[in-house]
Structure 1
Amino acid sequence: MALDSELLAKDIEAAMAANGFEPLANKAAGHDWWLAFAEGIVNHITTNAQVAVTSGSSAGTYKVT
C-alpha cells in the first residue's frame, strides 16, 4: 500500500472529531496544518522504515519505499 499524506490527514481529522475534538474549527490549525503533519509522518516512514525478511531466498532487511 502506498502512503498518502492527504488521506492520512483526513483520517487524523476524522479520528480527532470522533474523539470530541474539532480539528478544523475556526481557531484550530486547519486542514493545511494536518496535511503538513501527515506529510512529516509519511516522510519519516519512507525515509527510515525497514522490513526484515527472516527466511527464504529473499532473507535480509529492506528499505520501505
Structure 2
Amino acid sequence: MALDKTSLTDKLVKELQARGFETNGPHAKSAAMAEAIAHAVIDEITQNAQVTVDVGSSAGEYSIC
C-alpha cells in the first residue's frame, strides 16, 4: 500500500470537520495544520521506517524505501 499525502490530508480534514473544527474561511487554519501533519507523518514513515524479517534467507532489517 502506497502512502499518499493528499489522501491522508483529506482524511485528517474530514475527521476535524466531524469534530466541529472550521476548516474553511479566511481565518481557518486547521486544514493547513492537517496538511502539515500529513506531510510530516508520511515523510517520517518513508524516511525512517524499517521492517524486520526474522526467518529465511532474507532475514535481516530493511528500510521500507
The reply on whether 1:25 has 2:24 as its aligned counterpart is yes
Q: Paired residues, what number?
A: 64
- Cα-to-partner distance string for 1:3-37 (whole Å, 9 max, x where unaligned): 11000100111112222323x13222154443232
Task: List alignment gaps of at least 5 residues for structure 1.
Answer: none
Measure the CA separation in 2 of the matches of 1:32 and 1:6.
12
CA RMSD of aligned residues (A): 1.8
Task: List alignment gaps of at least 5 residues for structure 2.
Answer: none
Report sequence identity in percent: 39
The TM-score normalised by the length of structure 2 is 0.78
